[in-house]
């Protein structure tokens, strides 16, 4: 037979078939990789568990704040028809209870947020914070007749480490309109004519300011602002109706003849 020329394939040494040692090495490498992945996921799990536990604690504190703030607002409504002495006693009591609420519930939230991104947990305590702002602004109106500001009022009284956004303040102020409407109605039922007029003047200015804010915005804009703004308009209309009825009642009792307008 003619001699075949040598090729690269003929010069290549015969490959050694894989044996038990090679299989064990591959198995160990695969097991090591699995262990690393498992350890990595375990680390992620622990971090997520810590965040979730923190969120649940903050949510519980927020619910407690909501409940106590509603009690404070209910107490403040006792000033309708009260004497000056009784009114001062109610305002003092609510102010003291408000300080206790901040110390017992808001400070723990601030401590939970130490070293954390507050925006990550804002939704967890925002409902309670809005209710608290509603109570604080209601107390300020009954005490001074003015609106408690965000920078010079709310933030100064709350813990410095607690994020109080413009959104929480705006939504809390919108809810204030409902309490002022109830205050005006209760006062009118007790023949107090001055309070509804003061409430109406305040609410009309407040509504005018809130209406300058667009009721819709980017994704991060509070979606419930439009609904709260419409509720504020309805509250203003109810107080306007009360004041109008009071004027008509005064005219009827005074037998004042209204001028007849002819065209």
Binding region for Mg(2+): 134, 179
> Which pair of structure tokens corresponds to residue 113?
């947020």
CA distance linking residue 83 with residue 11, whole number of Å? 113
Q: Extract the annotated binding site.
A: 134, 179
Question: From its phi and psi, is residue 116 left (phi > 0), alpha (psi between -120 and 50) or beta?
Answer: beta
CA distance linking residue 44 with residue 58, whole number of Å? 21
- CB count within 10 Å of CB 110 equals 18
Q: What DSSP string describes 116-173?
A: S-HHHHHHHHHHHHHHHHHHHHHHHHHHHSSPPPIIIIIHHHS-TTS---HHHHHHHH
Question: Phi/psi of residue 138, each to 5°?
Answer: -65, -45
- CB count within 10 Å of CB 148 equals 22
Residue pointed to by tokens 């070293």: 115
CA distance linking residue 161 with residue 114, whole number of Å? 7
């Amino acid at each position: 037979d003619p001699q075949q020329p040598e090729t690269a394939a003929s010069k290549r040494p015969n490959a050694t078939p894989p044996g038990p040692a090679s299989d064990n090495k591959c198995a160990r490498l695969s097991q090591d990789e699995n262990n690393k992945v498992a350890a990595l996921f375990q680390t992620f799990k622990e971090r997520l568990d810590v965040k979730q536990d923190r969120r649940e604690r903050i949510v519980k504190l927020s619910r407690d704040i909501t409940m106590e703030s509603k009690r404070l607002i209910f107490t403040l409504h006792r000033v309708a028809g009260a004497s000056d002495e009784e009114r001062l006693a109610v305002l003092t009591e609510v102010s003291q209870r408000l300080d206790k609420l901040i110390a017992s519930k808001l400070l723990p939230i601030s401590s939970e947020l130490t070293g954390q991104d507050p925006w990550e947990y804002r939704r967890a305590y925002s409902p309670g914070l809005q209710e608290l702002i509603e109570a604080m602004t209601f107390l300020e109106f009954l005490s001074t007749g003015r609106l408690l500001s965000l920078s010079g009022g709310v933030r100064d009284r709350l813990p410095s480490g607690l994020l109080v956004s413009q959104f929480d303040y705006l939504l809390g102020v919108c809810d204030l309109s409902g309490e002022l409407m109830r205050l005006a109605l209760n006062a009118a039922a007790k023949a107090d004519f001055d309070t509804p007029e003061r409430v109406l003047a305040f609410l009309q200015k407040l509504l005018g300011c809130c209406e300058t804010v667009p009721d819709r915005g980017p994704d991060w804009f509070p979606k419930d602002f439009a609904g709260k703004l419409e509720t504020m308009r309805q509250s203003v209309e109810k107080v306007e109706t009360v004041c109008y009825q009071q004027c008509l009642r005064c005219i009827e009792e005074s037998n004042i003849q209204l001028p007849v307008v002819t065209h």
